[in-house]
Amino acid sequence: MEYKELLQQIDKNKMPKHIAIIMDGNGRWAKKKIKNRLFGHRAGAKAVRQIIECGVELNLEYLTVYAFSSENWNRPAAEIKGLLNLLVEFMNKEIAEINSNNVCVKLVGGEEGLEQGYLDKINKTLSTTWNNTGLQFRIAFNYGGRQDILQAVKKIGVKIQSGEITPEDIDSSLLEANLYTVGMPDPDLLIRTSGELRISNFLIWQVAYAELWFTEKLWPDFTKSDMLDAIVDFQNRNRRYGAL
């Protein structure tokens, strides 16, 4: 179905507040075209632009994409370097248009393994969008769900040790206040491309009640219409949160 037709099916009153996406399949897409993996990652970056545009058109509140996991450090050095450079390149190329659309962009994840100069360069670019009030676009970069929970527990441990809080003060709200995603609503919808049926250590605390939507499409082939397909399917589900 065409994008405009699908758009008419969207119920603006039942929109997910937060959509998270595992962008999988760049490498396989490149392999099919007898290209190297970085060629696939570059094509995947173009798909990201489309999805941001879609989020803006739908007045989506939050959109988070899984760009680089804490496990991705195990990949070949050349691919890691290429991914790190691609983020800088993508932001430098797209930030002006992103800013003009009132989109706020921030990184979500740890700093381990990343040079401070690299982080400073990215954040300087992204900071031009931080006062924007439209789509809140988050890039999960150097992110792992278990890593996220572990670092939150360590922060809480330090506060207990200092006497700032007691063990009895620990609850869901306290943990969430120490996660990388502090201040963000949990995802309502989690999309994964490439036919894989797992969440791969992505937002594992936050997606506890998210609706999952999988597609066989490889990420570079994912379009605005696919995004709308996922949202229409989401809107036809009955979310009970454990109730009847």
58 domain-assigned: yes
Q: What is the pLDDT of residue 1?
A: 66
Q: What is the pLDDT of residue 133?
A: 98
128 domain-assigned: yes
What would the pLDDT profile of 154-173 be if each residue is shown by its tens digit? 999 999 999 999 999 999 99
67 domain-assigned: yes
Q: How many structural domains does the chain have?
A: 1
R_g (Cα) of the chain, nearest Å: 18
**Whether pLDDT at 241 is above 90:** no
Q: By C-alpha distance, which of 152, 142, 138 is closest to 74? A: 142
What would the pLDDT profile of 76-96 be if each residue is shown by its tens digit? 999 999 999 999 999 999 999
240 domain-assigned: no
Give me the percent of the chain exceeding a pLDDT of 70. Answer: 98
**Whether pLDDT at 16 is above 80:** yes
What would the pLDDT profile of 115-164 be if each residue is shown by its tens digit? 999 999 999 999 999 999 999 999 999 999 999 999 999 999 999 999 99
Annotated catalytic residues are: 24, 72
160 domain-assigned: no
**Whether pLDDT at 9 is above 70:** yes
191 domain-assigned: yes
**CATH no. for residue 89?**
3.40.1180.10
What is the average pLDDT score of the chain?
95
57 domain-assigned: yes
Using 50, 70 and 90 to split pLDDT, how confident is the model at 3? confident
Q: Name the residue with higher pLDDT: 241 or 38.
A: 38
pTM of the model: 0.95
Q: Which domain holds residue 128?
A: 14-144+186-234
The CA dihedral of 15, 20, 26, 27, to the nearest 10 degrees, is -150
241 domain-assigned: no
